[in-house]
Amino acid sequence: MWSYALVETLPELPPGILSLDIETTGLDYHRDSVVVITVASPEQAWVVDCRRIPREAVASWLHRLFRERKVIIHNTLFDVAFLATAYGIAEPAAGSIWDTKLVEAVLEGGRDEGWRDFSLRHLSEKYLGLSLDKMWQSSFAADGDLSEEQVRYAAYDALVLHGIQREQERRLRSTPSLLRVVALEHHAVRGFWEMQRRGVGVDLAVLEQERQRWEREASALRQRLQGRLTRRIIGAREAKLAEAEERLRLWNEALEAELARHESVWRAGVADPSWVESLRRNWLGYQVTEKVTVDDAEILSWLDPERGLRRYLQRVGQRFRRENPRPPRPRVDILAPINLLSAQQLLEALNAELQEAGIPPIANTEAKVLRGLLGMDEDLDSNVLRPLLRYKELEKLLDFVEQIREHTREGRLYPDWQPIGAATGRASCRNPNLMAQPKAAGFRRAFVARDGHVLVTADYSQIELRIMAALSGDPEMTRAFIDGLDLHRLTASRIFGIAEEEVTEKQRKIGKQVNFGTLYGMGPRRLVAELAAQGIRISLEDAQAALDGWRRTFSAAAALIREWGERALRDGYVETALGRRRNFAEPSDGSEAAAVARRGGNLPIQGTAADIMKLAMGELAGTGLVLQVHDELVVEVPEEDAEEAAWRIQETMRRCAEAVLGGFPVQVDVAVGATWAEEAE
């Protein structure tokens, strides 16, 4: 079926599309090295042991490969990062790569079955029915000969890519709209290559200053929360200790009763010759300990009128303890401060607080659960929930500091980027996850430009609301953006029935929360909680009235969100403006149906925002991209070019968004500075 060969010279490139795969000594392209580069036609693979070939020759050969051929790769970011580090190659030209991992993510579109399992092994089994033995994946070393098994493994990793690519193309032909999304992803991946290669500067001294500040704040909050919550678990500790002591008392009573019963049995049977048979049935061969087994000689010794009772009861006691382990005696410091990192202790204390406030108990202490409690009780909000949420945020920041230190090399942080990291099509990153960090100057000022450079931070302003206006054609929302009005103030004026100039700052915050929350299917209870997190208290009735007011004001937008949700339930998918699909499994009950409708109503907005960002990233590849977080890009440029670069980045991002949105006006806010903090709020 296929042939392959191990070669120590660079093969001539055959005509047509080729596949490429590499084998390395590890997963870190900064520390590990490339051992094998395999290229393959549909029938033949050449396993190149590049350790035996001069670096310059390999670099030139790779340059020709990517310039002259279309190449199939699985997980381009990984392979190109290694090849760029080892051989200094530039990223492949747009349109020259088919990334089977990226294409599969587009095809699956968040489908629940198999979502995120885009490994080469999975795709080989799925499309070709061939199972790849991955036991050899970590066997490649910087020196030594390659075994036949390693050569075959390397060859098959490249050969299967052709069949996978053909099947993916076949699936795409049945859904032509996805062809444009695949082209977009391959266009954008050049931006991700650049971020992966460049990394971003980190000032560890500044980070240490922030760590100390966060630690002091966390310590103060810890003492405050312990002062409030410890009393809630003292009673629980006392009750647990009492329960343990009661279990131990009952166990001791059961042991004493068992010994007493067997003493009576012994006294009644010791003189009866037939009793020995009963003892043999119950005891012969019984393993008392790992080293002691009851034998016939020991059983006969129990019949001794003087010493037999003591020996017999000793074994009875041992058997009882073996079959009924003694309950542990807990060592509890009843007055010790609550451990806020103990989910069990924290849950007990919080549920005691909730019970006193007349609020139903919670099942866990996750931040989203705690946020959902906000707005129900003012004392609970001020003295427990908001301090606890901040404490959890600080603990997360402190852990994040350690991750940054671990992955920073010579002043640069190199996160692992995933171009499609969510069902919406948005990107993600890990080691560390920059997407999950707060937009706060204290954190961001640790991210710095290299000497002689500045960071240009460009952020799409209210992009999701602009997408909503563009796709729905809602007249009120469209008018606000075209006339340059404050949409949040406009929303508040409609909700509260007052003139825009009479809207207070508090009312504007409510309008802002309603604007963004409605796009995500937010209900009144969640709105109350989100506003309470900002120190704004409203009733459930007022929250419902605010949401109803939004739907009346922006009726066309509300109708389209509802239509998207119905389409997700009816058709099993919804699409972005560029045709990216988010697939949904058929719901099994009303709760799942409501969740599908809610996510379906939001996907075209979030997914279109992801498409816009990726179009801009592809256009800006090569300009110095270092970060992409949600709706903003951070670009490192020479200081003398800052003004022109900022304008070019701003215009490129605006043009890309307006092209997707049919010319609807888009605003891009730009900041220039030595750190990322200049854009932080």
pLDDT tens digits for range 129-144: 999 888 887 888 888 8
Query: Can you tell me the mean pLDDT for 247-269?
Result: 92
**Please, are residues 42 and 162 in contact by the beta-carbon 8 Å criterion?**
yes
**Per-residue pLDDT tens over the stretch 284-326:** 889 888 888 999 898 889 988 888 999 999 999 999 999 999 9
Read off the tokens for 547. Answer: 């949401």
What local confidence, expressed as pLDDT, does residue 112 receive? 58
**Whether residue 101 has pLDDT greater than 90:** yes
Class of domain 413-474+580-681: alpha beta
Phi-psi region of 579 (alpha: psi -120 to 50; beta: other; left: phi over 0): left
pLDDT band at 441 (very low <50, low <70, confident <90, very high): low
Query: Can you tell me the mean pLDDT for 366-382?
Result: 91
Residues in the chain: 681
Of the given ranges (32-46, 276-290, 559-573), which has the lowest mean pLDDT?
276-290
What local confidence, expressed as pLDDT, does residue 626 receive? 96
Query: Can you tell me the mean pLDDT for 426-447?
Result: 84
Query: Can you tell me the mean pLDDT for 4-16?
Result: 90
Mean pLDDT over each residue of the chain, to the nearest integer: 91
Query: Can you tell me the mean pLDDT for 28-40?
Result: 92
**Whether residue 113 has pLDDT greater than 60:** no
Most confident range, picked from 131-135, 168-172, 239-243: 168-172
Of the given ranges (230-244, 493-507, 600-614), which has the lowest mean pLDDT?
230-244
Distance of CA 635 to the CA centre of its chain: 25
**Whether residue 650 has pLDDT greater than 50:** yes
**Please, are residues 427 and 628 in contact by the beta-carbon 8 Å criterion?**
yes
What local confidence, expressed as pLDDT, does residue 247 receive? 92
What local confidence, expressed as pLDDT, does residue 681 receive? 41
What local confidence, expressed as pLDDT, does residue 593 receive? 94
Helix, strand and coil content of the chain, in percent to the nearest 5, comes to 60, 10, 30
**Per-residue pLDDT tens over the stretch 492-522:** 999 999 999 999 999 999 999 999 999 998 9
Three-state SS at 326 = coil
What local confidence, expressed as pLDDT, does residue 678 receive? 65
What local confidence, expressed as pLDDT, does residue 471 receive? 97
**Whether residue 554 has pLDDT greater than 70:** yes
**Please, are residues 172 and 182 in contact by the beta-carbon 8 Å criterion?**
yes
Q: What is the CATH number that goes with domain 3-174?
A: 3.30.420.10
What local confidence, expressed as pLDDT, does residue 117 receive? 73
pLDDT band at 680 (very low <50, low <70, confident <90, very high): very low
Spatial CA neighbour of 632 closest among 665, 679, 678: 679
Q: 472 exposed, middle or buried (CB, 10 Å; 0-12, 13-18, 19+)?
A: buried
Spatial CA neighbour of 106 closest among 571, 426, 567, 425: 425
What local confidence, expressed as pLDDT, does residue 440 receive? 64
pTM as predicted: 0.84
**Whether residue 406 has pLDDT greater than 80:** yes
Residue 454 is given by DSSP the state E
What local confidence, expressed as pLDDT, does residue 679 receive? 53
Return the domain boundaries, the chain.
3-174, 212-323, 413-474+580-681
Name the residue with higher pLDDT: 631 or 440: 631
Name the residue with higher pLDDT: 289 or 449: 449
Quick one: what percent of the chain has pLDDT higher than 90?
Answer: 73
Spatial CA neighbour of 157 closest among 131, 176, 181: 131
DSSP result, 515-570: HHHHHTT--HHHHHHHHHHTT----HHHHHHHHHHHHHHTHHHHHHHHHHHHHHHH
What local confidence, expressed as pLDDT, does residue 640 receive? 96
Query: Can you tell me the mean pLDDT for 50-58?
Result: 92
Alpha helices, H only, 175-203: 177-198
Helix or strand (DSSP H, E) at 19: strand 18-24
Q: What are the distances in angstroms from CA 134 to CA 45, 119, 120, 131, 157?
A: 18, 11, 10, 9, 10
**Whether residue 91 has pLDDT greater than 80:** no
